[in-house]
Structure 1
Amino acid sequence: AAQMLEEGVLDVKGSFPTNTSGGSLGVGNSLEATGLQKSLEIVTQLRGYAGKRQVPGAEIGIAQAWRGIPSGSGAVAIFKRGS
């Protein structure tokens, strides 16, 4: 992962854009709404509304969230443009 980061693979214009919103800390660490924030970022990207952080040609995105104690629950959502 360190090499990918150094090579820009994870950047917005890289081949595997990651945390385009800045991740949980970049959006204010919304705790219980973290999954919603991630989903919103993906929809924003797929619609082409992300401005300077727009991933060119965004077609698909994946969001995951989990909650530790007391529930230990988690979820994954996959979004695809045009679906």
Structure 2
Amino acid sequence: MGGRTAGGVAAAFTVVSSPAPDEPDVHLCATLQGIQFHFTACLTAALVFVQEQRHHCYFDTVRVVSGSTAGLRRMANERLFLLP
């Protein structure tokens, strides 16, 4: 489908450290109405985010993308997905 992309522009955003520095980061891609949003999140936050998406369907699709997370901004409110 080759939708438009948003996010991933490192120069426009301040780099923020992971809320769980002992965990690996993963690349997430969320699609909403044909627009792809790429961001990075620690593994636990990403897994919880995917589970939430399955229950509430905020986005059309959410997928974990293999490869580097370099240059991607962190998922908004990532820390909230780590709370019990």
TM-score w.r.t. structure 2 length?
Answer: 0.31
Structure with bigger strand share is: 2
TM-score w.r.t. structure 1 length?
Answer: 0.31
**Greater relative contact order (CA < 8 Å, ≥ 6 in sequence):** 2
